[in-house]
Amino acid sequence: MLTVSVKWLKEVFPKVEIDTSQPPYVFKCQLYDLTGVPPERQKIMVKGGLLKDDADWATLGVKEGQKMMMMGTADEIVKAPEKGPVFMEDLPEEEQVVALGHTAGLFNLGNTCYMNSTVQCLHSVPELKSALSNYPSQKSSDLDQTSHMLTAATRELFNELDKSVKPVAPMQFWMVLRKKYPQFGQLHNGVYMQQDAEECWTQLLYTLSQSLRSPSPSQNPDTTKELFGIELVSRVHCQESGEESSETESVYSLKCHISQEVNHLHEGLKHGLKSELEKASPSLGRSAIYLKESCINALPRYLTVQFVRFFWKRESNQKAKILRKVDYPLQLDVYDFCSDDLRKKLEAPRQILRDEEGKKAGLKAKVKSSSSKDNDTKMTDVEGPSNESVKSSNSTSGEGGSSGKESQLTGIYDLVAVLTHKGRSADSGHYVAWVKQESGKWIEYDDDNPIPQREEDITKLSGGGDWHMAYICMYKARAFPV
Catalytic residue among 29, 271, 430, 473: 430
Q: Are 400 and 226 in contact (CB under 8 A)?
A: yes
φ/ψ region of 347 (left if φ > 0, alpha if ψ in -120 to 50, else beta) reads: alpha
Whether 338 is a known active-site residue: answer no
Alpha helix positions (H), 103-184 = 113-123, 126-133, 145-163, 171-180
Q: What residues have CB less than 8 Å from 59, skipping those under 6 apart?
A: none
How far is it, in rounded angstroms, from Cα 366 to Cα 352? 10
What is the 8-class DSSP label of residue 143?
Answer: S
DSSP secondary structure letters along 54-116? T--HHHHT--TT-EEEEE-PPPPPPPPPSS----GGGS-HHHHHHHHTS---B---SS-HHHH
Q: At what angle do helices 145-163 and 93-100 cross, to 10 degrees?
A: 70
Catalytic residue among 113, 200, 256, 338: 113
Q: Are 326 and 262 in contact (CB under 8 A)?
A: yes
Whether 29 is a known active-site residue: answer no
How far is it, in rounded angstroms, from Cα 147 to Cα 286? 41
Q: How far is CA 227 from CA 109, 126, 209, 299, in A?
A: 30, 11, 10, 9
What is the 8-class DSSP label of residue 366?
Answer: P
How far is it, in rounded angstroms, from Cα 287 to Cα 276? 13
**Strand duo 442-446 + 449-453: pairing:** antiparallel
Q: What residues have CB less than 8 Å from 422, skipping those under 6 apart?
A: 429, 430, 431, 432, 466, 467, 468, 469
**Strand duo 11-18 + 2-8: pairing:** antiparallel
**Strand order through the sheet with 286-298:** 244-251, 230-237, 286-298, 274-281
Q: What residues have CB less than 8 Å from 183, skipping those under 6 apart?
A: 195, 199
Q: Which residues of 444-481 are buried (b: 16+ CB within 10 A; e: fewer)?
A: bbbbeebeebeeeebeebbbeeeebbbbbbbbbbbbee
- Annotated catalytic residues are 113, 430
